Copies of this chain bind each other. A is one copy, B any other.
């Protein structure tokens, strides 16, 4: 990871992290265990509301990539709130990306690249993560994509 603060990289990319919602539910958005941070699955949102859609039915791969990129921003916002600063991230360890898919849509990997590529741009070498991507029958509130993340901290 370069010595440039992550906040500067985000500014270079024109990305402003949103306010994170306070957890309303029976779970929390992130938990640290030792040096590992487990971030809850984040559904895609657009203008603060669930980004509804099913790939292969009413949404194309390019739109799915934008949704996955939007989730990456929300995941970083959650990490920042949880850690105080994204500079505490030593490594993005793993991403699991779920794509709301018909039984025949097979480009889940391209959709989740929308998240993976932004993570790489922001974190550089420290952003090179392991990953699984696959198509699910549905996602809470009808969202088109859901992504969870594991990070290592100093």
Contacts and interface: CB of A to CB of B under 8 A. Distances in A.
B134 A98 contact: yes
A29 B141 CA distance: 31
Interface in A106-144: 106-109, 113, 116-117, 119-120, 128-142
A3 interface: no
- Oligomeric state, in copies: 3
Contacts of A133: 41, 140
A137 B102 contact: yes
A94 interface: yes
A128 B82 CA distance: 14
Contacts of A36: 33-34, 36
Contacts of A141: 106, 109
A77 B131 CA distance: 17
A82 to B, nearest CB: 10
Given A38-B93, A106-B139, A137-B137, 10 more contacts: A27-B116, A31-B93, A31-B94, A38-B94, A105-B138, A106-B141, A106-B142, A109-B141, A133-B140, A134-B146
